[in-house]
Amino acid sequence: MKNFKLNKLAIAAIAAASIASVTTTASACSRLIMDGGETHGVTVARSFDWGGSELQSIAKAYPSGVAVEAYNVPEYKNPASWTVKHHTVDYVEVETFHSTSGEAVNDKGLSASILYQNPSVEFVKDAADNGAPAVHMSQIVNYLATQFATVDEAVKAFEAGEFQTAWKTGIGGHQHGFHFSVQDKSGDIALFQLNEGGKMVVHRGDISSDLRVMANMPLRQDILAHAENFDLSNAETLPSDISSPSRYLRGYHVTANAKLDPKADWVDTRGKMKGFFDYGNKVPQELIDPTNDTSYATWETYIYNLETGNTTYYNEGNGSQIDINFAETTAFAKTMCADIFKQARSAEKISWEECNTNRTK
C-alpha cells in the first residue's frame, strides 16, 4: 500500500470517487484474522451484519462419521453428498438467511467463513455447471470445515474438481454474490471469489497478507486498487463511514498497527481482539451507508482461536454473550444443536440438545 498523506478534503473526494464504481445495495459483515501467539495461535473475529431484521444463530456440532443432509441444488447434474471427516462446530443463521452456515471451526484447526460480495452476482449467469459435485451456497462453509484439515488441502480439492459451489441455486430462491475463505492454524488463508465470466479465482496468502481482512465489496483486485489511495498507517487519513471499502481500510489499519499479547490469557486476548474489531468493523444500528443510502447493523460477532476452537458469541443487538467450549462437543455421538441466540439473551450457559426443533433441525 502506498504511504503518502492527503488532506481531509482530498481524502473525501478520493473515497467518494473510488467507492462510487463499486456501489451495491448489500454491504454487510466483516472478518479479521490476527496472530495470538503460541498459546492461542490464529485468532479470528467475524460479524454477521444485515439491514432491517435482526439475525439469530444456532450452533451445530457435527461429530466425525455423521452424514450431513445436503440441501437441494436442482440446477446441477451432480449434487454433492458428504460425511463429516473432521469434528466441526458450525454457526448457522436461522432467522433471515434460510439456515445458512456463516462460520464453522473444526478440530484440525481450520475454519471457514462466508460473507456477502454483491459485485459477483452479475457473474452468476456465466458460472456454468462444470460437473463437479455441487454444494449449496448455504452449506459451503459446512462442507469446507467438515471435509478439510488445511487450507492447502481444500484448495487442491477445489482445483482437482472435487466440488463446486451452486451459484445458480442461490439462497432462499434468489441468486446472490458471496465470497468465502478458509484459514488454518498455520496462518494460511485462501479466498474464493467469483469473477467476470463466471470464473472462480482462489487467492492465496497468510495472516501477514491483506487476506487477513475481509469485508463485502469490491472484489480483491478492486479493493487493493482502492486502498492505494490511502495512507493505511495513519488513521487520520481513513474514512469513518460504515461502507464495506471503509471498513476494509480500517480493518487493515488496525491489524497492521496493533498486536495481540502472546502471553495473555484467552479472555484477555478475546477482549483485545473484540476491541480491534469494533474499532473499524462493527456497524451500529441506524447509521446510513453513504455509498448506497441504506442502513444495516452488526447483529452477531464471533471471536475464536484455531488452537482450541473455543468461541464467544456476542449478540450486538441486545448486548448478551455466550461461550462455546469446543472440547465439550467432541464427545457427541450425533449432531447436536444449541440455540445460542436464545440462550445468550436469557443469560444462560450453553446447553446442547438433539437437532429436532423448528429452529435447530
| In a domain? residue 5 | no
* Strand residue runs (E) in 228-343: 288-289, 294-295, 297-305, 311-315, 320-324, 336-338
In a domain, 255, yes or no: yes
Residues 6+ apart with CB under 8 A from 93: 48, 55, 56, 57, 99, 100, 102, 300
110-116 vs 82-83, strand pairing mode: unpaired
How confident is the model at residue 11, as a pLDDT? 39
For 195-215, write each residue's pLDDT tens digit. Answer: 999 999 999 999 999 999 999
Q: Is residue 226 part of a domain?
A: yes
Q: Tell me what pLDDT residue 358 has.
A: 67
Place of cell 458469541: 313
Identify the residue with better confidence: 1 or 227: 227
The pLDDT of residue 16: 43
**Residue 280's pLDDT band (boundaries 50, 70, 90)?**
very high
pLDDT band, residue 15 (cuts 50/70/90): very low
Which residues are bridge partners to 166 per DSSP? Answer: 136
DSSP 323: E
Cell readout for 216 is 463485502
User: Is residue 17, in this structure, part of any structural domain at all?
Assistant: no
Instruction: Answer whether residue 1 shows pLDDT above 50.
Output: no
pLDDT exceeds cutoff 60 at 6? no
For residue 92, give its domain range: 24-354
Residue 313 sits in a domain whose CATH number is: 3.60.60.10
| Cis omega (within 30 of 0) for bond into 218 | yes
**Per residue in 118-153, pLDDT tens?**
999 999 999 999 999 999 999 999 999 999 999 999
For residues 351 and 173, the model is more confident at 351
Q: How many domains does the chain contain in total?
A: 1
Q: So what's the pLDDT on residue 183?
A: 98
Return d(Cα 77, Cα 104) in angstroms, integer: 27
Q: What was the pLDDT predicted at 292?
A: 86
Q: Using an 8 Å Cβ cutoff, are 92 and 147 in contact?
A: no
- Per-residue pLDDT at 2 exceeds 60: no
- Could you tell me if 70 and 79 are in contact, meaning their C-beta atoms sit under 8 angstroms apart? yes
- Please state the rounded mean pLDDT for residues 288-301: 92
| Range 165-179 average pLDDT | 94
Task: Check if the beta carbon of residue 238 is closer than 8 Å to that of residue 12.
Answer: no
Checking if the pLDDT of 25 tops 60, the result is: no
Q: Tell me the per-residue pLDDT of 49-104, one tens digit each, with 9 for 90 and over.
A: 988 778 999 999 999 999 999 999 999 999 999 999 999 999 999 988 889 999 99
SS3 at position 123: helix
How far apart CA 271 and CA 183 sit, in angstroms, is 21
Residue 239 in domain? yes
Determine the angle formed by the axes of helices 220-227 and 244-257, rounding to 10 degrees: 70
Mean residue pLDDT of the chain comes to 92
- Write the DSSP symbol of residue 66: P
Q: What pairing do the DSSP bridges indicate for beta strands 134-136 and 164-166?
A: parallel
On whether residue 19 sits in a domain, the answer given is no
Q: Is residue 15 assigned to a domain?
A: no
pLDDT at residue 33, as a whole number: 98
- Percentage of the chain beyond pLDDT 90 is 85
Give the pLDDT of residue 27.
62
Q: CA angle, 192 as apex, 296 and 307 as ends, to 5°?
A: 85
Amino acid at 288: I
Instruction: Examine residue 62 and state whether it is found in any structural domain, yes or no.
Output: yes
Q: What is the pLDDT of residue 14?
A: 40
Q: Is the pLDDT of residue 220 over 60?
A: yes
pLDDT at 282 over 70: yes
Q: Are 107 and 96 in contact (CB under 8 A)?
A: no
